[in-house]
Structure 1
């Protein structure tokens, strides 16, 4: 299968790197010509344009920063969509938007997939990230070999759009966990607790979370550079709030988190790293929430393993 990849940013560059590393016939495109050239130097081909990539490839993957960017790229590709062509949307986007664009691809005989990732840029870099895939089962079976080269755990979630719903939910949880970790670490520091010990106490407890295992380390080292910016957080938690509003769910924590993140953007800039939210509490208390021995960047130290489909738990047949 010849594959095109559009969007070589923080996440897309790592996912497409996994495809290239694992021998996929790959062409790439990005508005940044230097990023494209870096892939060409490693053996990929320059895609030229989204339209040309859809014409030349069996599947085209998009990993872009906003729904508007995805719309622009898909509109350019649509005239070249023919029977059997696959569009894979790996951006974090709005469910209504991915369904709308997917319908346009389907009308031309193509097969749309929404397949966002979860697990952090460090795992995207090693092919150990998790991937949700919303599409027809037949299409899923066709693209599973590609997905297992980019990720370790692959979950088929049913129809297109389901992945986007699940993805914004997981990002909501990750960000609310980040804010709770910031408060927990600050209170422990105020109580005079050793923060290195506190980290381990949380990690081995019922209070543990992915956010703690990753972002707490960057908070404590002082680097505060998780490679995920506040504007992306605001997009994700805003999409989750939209889901709640559409379905008449009266959330209480979500609006508070949105206001907290807006305050963080006002203080540190719209594109500040999300784990700088700890600095709001440092400023309020005069405490330094740091400790020796923690890394300044996240590195996935697990070896790259072949990906596999995660089976959904079902009730036993009667």
Structure 2
């Protein structure tokens, strides 16, 4: 049995490690620089470590869900200086395909394996083991890790060589961003026109406009719950990755540009760490309304 470790025990990492603890049949080691998150992980049944170095030295497969390209690059570089050659590294965050491909090349040169395996599904999917997982890297390495990924996701798909998983995630979050803006614009418009947003949601949620984004994010909006199950800041990173990749490909992304503009507006107004559904505030501000139920 492989020794499993996980770096990053926040909103997503906690849910994913909970499923590994319940389903793997072995110990799951974890590290996060925040003591409270390590304590929560330990209370859930994980083996919390006080130093990341101990996890690097102990584990055969190291999963990670970290917030930025820079942190991922620094962490993977550090792991390869400490861990045993042959260790498999699985990046489950949203990162630039170019960063991942450069790290993958270095990993092979040093005798390590690196998969890019970003996820979609947010906190609900992480907690429920129902994430969509998209993987890039060597097929044989993917097959080794796949049983563990299936403990965390309802679908686990091999997308192709290194960077393909990250590219799939970029495409996924381009669409999610557009859905969020469409939802915010439509519900603010309806409120301005005199409709009750809750009644509108009840009327259309089973129709052609229905989406997972609307199903999850409209109830949060109506209750004015902008606590982050998926932060705008993290989504903006994906949007910036999309713009970078588009530049390399020589293509234009007009709708994604609008998503970026509105996320940048949220940043400028101090709301970048709120939940994605808080993007409705852009339209509320523009139309002079507040999307909450009148009932």
The change in CA–CA distance for 1:220 and 1:76 in structure 2 (over 3 A counts) is same
Q: How far off its partner does 1:134 sit?
A: 1.3
| Per-residue deviation, residues 73-115 of structure 1 (Å, max 9, x unmatched) | 1122113444532110111101011111122221222221111
| Per-residue deviation, residues 173-199 of structure 1 (Å, max 9, x unmatched) | 111111110111122222333322321
| Higher helix content, 1 or 2 | 2
Superposed, which structure 2 residues align to 1:64-79 within 5 Å? Answer: 64-79=66-81
| Per-residue deviation, residues 211-262 of structure 1 (Å, max 9, x unmatched) | 1111112112221334222221221111111111110012212222211221
TM-score normalised by length of structure 2: 0.92
Question: Equivalent residue for 1:138?
Answer: 140
The one of 248, 251, 255 aligned to 1:249: 251
Q: How far off its partner does 1:58 sit?
A: 1.1
Which blocks of at least 5 consecutive residues in structure 2 are unaligned?
A: none
Q: Name whichever of 253-262 and 263-272 sits farther off.
A: 263-272
How many Å separate the matches in 1 of 2:42 and 2:196? 49
Q: How far off its partner does 1:292 sit?
A: 6.6
Question: Equivalent residue for 1:112?
Answer: 114
Q: Are the equivalent residues in 1 in contact too, given 2:196–2:294 (CA < 8 A)?
A: no
The one of 193, 201, 204 aligned to 2:203: 201
SS of match in other structure, 1:290: coil
SS of match in other structure, 1:156: strand
How many Å separate the matches in 2 of 1:75 and 1:165? 21
SS of match in other structure, 2:290: coil
The change in CA–CA distance for 1:288 and 1:43 in structure 2 (over 3 A counts) is closer
How many Å separate the matches in 1 of 2:217 and 2:173? 13
The one of 136, 155, 158 aligned to 2:157: 155
The change in CA–CA distance for 1:268 and 1:202 in structure 2 (over 3 A counts) is farther
Question: Equivalent residue for 2:4?
Answer: 3
Question: Equivalent residue for 1:264?
Answer: 266
Q: Are the equivalent residues in 1 in contact too, given 2:173–2:238 (CA < 8 A)?
A: yes
Question: Equivalent residue for 2:57?
Answer: 55
RMSD of Structure 2 on Structure 1 (CA): 1.9
The change in CA–CA distance for 1:130 and 1:253 in structure 2 (over 3 A counts) is same
How many Å separate the matches in 1 of 2:40 and 2:234? 25
Q: Name whichever of 196-205 and 238-247 sits farther off.
A: 196-205
Q: Are the equivalent residues in 1 in contact too, given 2:228–2:273 (CA < 8 A)?
A: no
The one of 88, 91, 111 aligned to 2:90: 88
Question: Equivalent residue for 1:19?
Answer: 20
How many Å separate the matches in 2 of 1:239 and 1:108? 27
SS of match in other structure, 1:157: strand
Q: How far off its partner does 1:21 sit?
A: 2.1
Superposed, which structure 2 residues align to 1:36-47 within 5 Å? Answer: 36-47=38-49
Which blocks of at least 5 consecutive residues in structure 1 are unaligned?
A: 294-318
Q: Name whichever of 110-119 and 197-206 sits farther off.
A: 197-206
Question: Equivalent residue for 1:305?
Answer: none
Q: Are the equivalent residues in 1 in contact too, given 2:117–2:133 (CA < 8 A)?
A: yes
Q: Name whichever of 129-138 and 277-286 sits farther off.
A: 277-286
Question: Equivalent residue for 1:31?
Answer: 33
